[in-house]
A and B are shown apart, each in its own frame.
Chain A
Amino acid sequence: MASLIACPHCGPRPKEEFTVRGDAGIARPVPDAGEDAWYAYVYLRDNPRGRHKEHWHHTSGCRRWLVVERDTMTHAIYAVSDAGTQDASTRGETA
């Protein structure tokens, strides 16, 4: 993991100020989606190699949730944006 994340609100900060949540591409199922869908949503995760979007929380800074697009192999960070500016599908919400 690269040591600096460029927070869109605070500027570049060391990764120690952030908390990682995980994959930002997972959509929350509807309440009655069934056991399999909920099991997958809660427990099943890929372990991707390469470009990946993740939720990171700027815990010791602005306390905003961010979407960090990074490469899990090279540690390069491609883009950081506020999770609130993403569309509903990448926020992990359903309409």
Chain B
Amino acid sequence: MVDFALHHRPALADAKSGSFGAPSTGKRITLAALPEGHVLQVLAARESGDLQSLIPRIGDGTHHAVRPYGPGQWFVIGDAPLSAAEIFAKTPLLDGKASISDQGHGRVRIGISGWAVETVLAKGTAVDLAISNFPVGHSAMTLIGHISALITRAGTESFELLVLRGFAESLWDELVQMSLEFGVDAHTGK
């Protein structure tokens, strides 16, 4: 039993919020702190073969819930918070071929969208984000500046970034800075 209740405080609660940079044009960037629901890291067991079709079983069925970031490694993400028991109950769905680790406390999501979103992110990463090379639903683990993040394309002009909680506010500030030339509206959800 725990001796005291832990209060959940969103990682970006105190981050910069509001409108910054160039005055309104049609090319503004929108930054949004996304719900801190569940983040499950799934690691394949050795010699378990191709599990790509197995992993969606533990997802919530939404688009881009399953995000591969390397051989035999996935993040499964959703808006709903899950209890330890609910996460534990998902383990049998993987037939013993992969294990689940709850990273809900460790990583948070940032949404970034707008006409120039590829140009903004290209200031920080070397990954080719052109839609022909990086279609909707595609993910890549990479560096944005000096901060490691998983980039997922959520739409033609929108991406989601999954970043370590302790780096989230720092990345947020950098994204605001990178977006200034287009103007940026930052919503921390406060």
Contacts and interface: CB of A to CB of B under 8 A. Distances in A.
A11 B140 CA distance: 10
Nearest to A10: B140
Contacts of A59: 148
Given A60-B142, A61-B141, A61-B142, A13 B126 contact: yes
A74 to B, nearest CB: 22
Contact of B148 (A4, A9, A10, A60): A60
Interface in A32-61: 58-61
B96 interface: no
A17 B142 contact: yes
B143 interface: yes
Interface stretch (B31-39, B54-62, B69-77, B171-179): B69-77
Interface residues of B, number: 12
Interface residues of A, number: 17
A14 B126 contact: yes
A8 B141 CA distance: 14
A16 B140 contact: no
Nearest to B144: A60
Contacts of A28: none
A13 B127 CA distance: 7
A50 to B, nearest CB: 27
Interface of B: 69-71, 73, 126-128, 140-143, 148
